[in-house]
Amino acid sequence: MKVRKSSHVDGLRDAASWVVRHPFSLATQTLRQIISAKLQWQSGTFRTLGVTSCLPGEGKTIVAANLGHLIASTGKKVLLVDGGVHNRDLSKALAPDVDSGLVDVIGGRSTRVESVSVNYKTNLHFLPLGKPRSDALNNTWRNPMESLLKDACDTYDWVIIDLPPMDPLADVRDAASIIDAFLVVVEWGHTPAAIVEEALARSGVVKGKLLGTVLNRIDASKIRTYDRSAYLRGNGNHIDTEDV
């Protein structure tokens, strides 16, 4: 999926709810496979899912938001969390008028209930980032975040966290110990296999918690000649999303 060339934030807001307007699209059917993959998860089930990518700009934020909308529209209780402490674009798109958020909750300045906004069309609950302070960048994935996720899991069926890319930031590795499973978004035909494999090799326990990989922005006219096994090997489920 890709953002339309208007205002970046406006385009992200529009693309983040693609599945709501296109319930029978290939992208929507693709994301449903992630829901099915949860049922086959190696340790039974999970509540927290981190969505990341190898590099910036591969579309992980749009995938995370659409997955949240899709699951919420089925009647499940879903919390989407903006965990990108270095980039507030998702929060600007989905909750532009909300001042408090994740960093305020883990900093004790607000509560989760006070900071969550609700999309009343799909009933997706969204916890924006808030306005990061310098201390928040270093402490996001320490004890307060673990407590927040445990508390959220008592209320929600799914907690989806939009994480920063794995490379060059260390946030995903820091988050790995408190998140149940991970989904890695890879831009089709753009990110070399060697970069994907290197990022996963350096990701610590993330690789062992990998639910699957999403091939994003595929060119449907070329996909029949594309050798997936040469692109990603041994990393679980491979899921394709159309270029929308």
pLDDT tens for 102-149 read 988 988 889 999 999 999 999 999 999 987 766 555 556 667 888 999
- What are the structural domains, with CATH classification, of the chain? 8-242 (3.40.50.300)
Rounded CA-CA distance 178/122 in Å is 27
Q: Do the beta carbons of residue 163 and residue 51 sit within 8 Å?
A: yes
pLDDT tens for 140-150 read 666 788 899 99
Q: How many CA atoms lie within 13 A of 241 on its CB side?
A: 29
The model carries a pTM of 0.84
pLDDT score of 131:
79
Identify which of 155, 143, 140, 154 has the alpha carbon closest to the alpha carbon of residue 50. 140
Share of the chain residues as helix, strand and coil, in percent rounded to the nearest 5: 40, 20, 40
Burial of 33 (0-12, 13-18, 19+ CB in 10 A): middle
Rounded CA-CA distance 161/68 in Å is 10
Rounded CA-CA distance 197/229 in Å is 13
Of 10-24, 110-124, 210-224, highest mean pLDDT: 110-124
pLDDT score of 222:
61
106: amino acid identity, one letter: I
57: amino acid identity, one letter: G
Identify which of 162, 138, 159, 163 has the alpha carbon closest to the alpha carbon of residue 147. 159
For residue 103, what are the β-bridge partners?
Answer: none
Helix (H) or strand (E) holding 183: strand 181-187
pLDDT tens for 194-207 read 888 888 888 778 88
The verdict on whether omega for the bond into residue 128 sits within 30 degrees of 0, i.e. cis, is no
17: amino acid identity, one letter: S
Please give the DSSP secondary-structure letter assigned to residue 73. Answer: T
Confidence class for position 223, pLDDT limits 50, 70, 90: low
